[in-house]
């Protein structure tokens, strides 16, 4: 077989004319096989070139994926699987990416945790769960979380409570506290991170009660009257957490 032309295209790609057929080959492959000028190659060498080029095709796709956003090893693996790359080839690609520092689960976990603490109101338990889904080991997660002061999570829990307090216009204080408690659990906060602050919050419950009662009466008055209306109204108010 004969390579009759080697022409630079863009980035790390070259166009090779092999037996009058065009091939796009990565510069890494050219270097590996010392392909600097037109020459004769064997069928075996040609097949090796194609195999190695296929490897670099997947390798550079992985790098583009990583360059867009930092990724965990599991995320890169899943991406390459979705591109129908052979799994044996994927393992080689992953190994090279790790050796070159493109994949580093420890750095990934550190950056992920800092982003969650600074840009979201997610608590530590939820962050742990999210990192596990991304294939980060328990030991790495635990070590990187140690660098975060618990006060930062406590401050974020308070921010969440304050944010919800501003929009709470209906229902009792008891109902509000229960809802906030459940929300904070779902966000991954241990109760000790918010218990005292949540216990101390107050609202104008009397104003809420009167407003909610007026709305309920208006809604039910066309269906009920007298003692039955009063009973239905009280039932609805009880559901909103009022205990008058």
* pLDDT tens-digit map of 176-223: 999 999 999 999 999 999 999 999 999 888 888 888 889 899 999 988
Co-location of 134 and 175 in the same domain: no
| Domain-located, residue 211 | yes
Co-location of 131 and 175 in the same domain: no
Give the total number of structural domains in the chain.
3
| Domain-located, residue 244 | no
Co-location of 184 and 133 in the same domain: no
Co-location of 183 and 126 in the same domain: no
pLDDT exceeds 90 at position 22: yes
If pLDDT is split at 50, 70 and 90, which confidence band does 243 have? confident
Co-location of 15 and 84 in the same domain: yes
Co-location of 145 and 192 in the same domain: no
Identify the domain boundary among 122, 149, 176: 149
Q: DSSP secondary-structure letter at 104?
A: -
Q: Which two tokens stand for residue 151?
A: 């006060």
Identify the domain boundary among 33, 65, 99: 99
Alpha carbon 12 to chain centroid, angstroms: 31
Q: pTM for the full model?
A: 0.83
pLDDT value at residue 184: 98
> 141 is in which domain, residue-wise?
105-149
Identify the domain boundary among 99, 119, 141: 99
Per the model's pLDDT, the better-predicted residue between 129 and 225 turns out to be 129
Q: Which two tokens stand for residue 155?
A: 């401050």
The most distant pair of C-alpha atoms in the chain lies apart, rounded to whole Å, by 102
Closest by alpha carbon to 195, among 183, 182, 181?
Answer: 181
Q: DSSP secondary-structure letter at 150?
A: H
- CATH number, domain containing residue 114: 1.10.10.10
| Domain-located, residue 59 | yes
| Domain-located, residue 202 | yes
Check: CB of residue 145 under 8 Å from CB of residue 124: yes
Co-location of 12 and 93 in the same domain: yes
Co-location of 179 and 219 in the same domain: yes
Q: Calculate the average pLDDT of the chain.
A: 94
Q: Which two tokens stand for residue 109?
A: 């976990």
Q: Which two tokens stand for residue 163?
A: 């944010």
| Domain-located, residue 110 | yes
Closest by alpha carbon to 24, among 1, 54, 66, 64?
Answer: 54
Co-location of 126 and 173 in the same domain: no
CA distance 223 to 151: 52
The angle at the Cα of 239, spanning 237 to 242, to the nearest 5 degrees, equals 50
Phi, psi of 240 (to 5 degrees): -85, 0
| Domain-located, residue 127 | yes
pLDDT exceeds 70 at position 244: no
Co-location of 210 and 128 in the same domain: no
* pLDDT tens-digit map of 149-188: 999 999 999 999 999 999 888 888 988 999 999 999 999 9
Q: What is the mean predicted confidence (pLDDT) over 56-69? A: 95
pLDDT value at residue 209: 86
Q: At 225, is the secondary structure helix, strand, or coil?
A: coil
Check: CB of residue 100 under 8 Å from CB of residue 66: no
pLDDT exceeds 70 at position 145: yes
Unique residue bearing structure tokens 């790390």: 12
Co-location of 33 and 59 in the same domain: yes
Strands of the sheet containing 39-40, edge to edge, are 21-26, 13-18, 2-10, 39-40
Co-location of 16 and 39 in the same domain: yes
If pLDDT is split at 50, 70 and 90, which confidence band does 227 have? confident
pLDDT value at residue 116: 97
């Amino acid at each position: 077989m004969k390579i009759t032309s080697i022409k630079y295209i863009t980035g790390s790609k070259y166009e090779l004319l092999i037996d009058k057929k065009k091939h796009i080959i990565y510069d890494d492959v050219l270097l590996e096989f010392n392909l600097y000028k037109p020459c004769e190659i064997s069928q075996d060498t040609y097949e090796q070139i194609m195999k190695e080029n296929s490897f670099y095709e997947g390798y550079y796709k992985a790098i583009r994926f990583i360059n867009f956003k930092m990724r965990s090893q599991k995320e890169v693996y899943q991406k390459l699987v979705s591109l129908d790359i052979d799994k044996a080839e994927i393992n080689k690609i992953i190994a090279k990416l790790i050796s070159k520092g493109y994949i580093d689960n420890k750095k990934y976990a550190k950056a992920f945790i800092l982003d969650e603490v600074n840009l979201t109101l997610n608590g530590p338990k939820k962050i742990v769960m999210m990192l596990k889904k991304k294939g980060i080991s328990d030991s790495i997660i635990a070590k990187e979380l140690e660098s975060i002061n618990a006060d930062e999570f406590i401050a974020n829990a308070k921010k969440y409570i304050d944010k919800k307090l501003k929009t709470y216009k209906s229902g009792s204080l008891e109902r509000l506290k229960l809802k906030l408690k459940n929300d904070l659990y779902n966000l991954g906060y241990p109760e000790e991170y918010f218990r005292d602050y949540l216990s101390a919050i107050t609202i104008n419950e009397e104003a809420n009660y009167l407003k909610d009662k007026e709305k309920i009466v208006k809604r039910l008055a066309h269906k009920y009257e007298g003692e039955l209306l009063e009973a239905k109204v009280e039932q609805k108010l009880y559901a909103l957490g009022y205990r008058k």
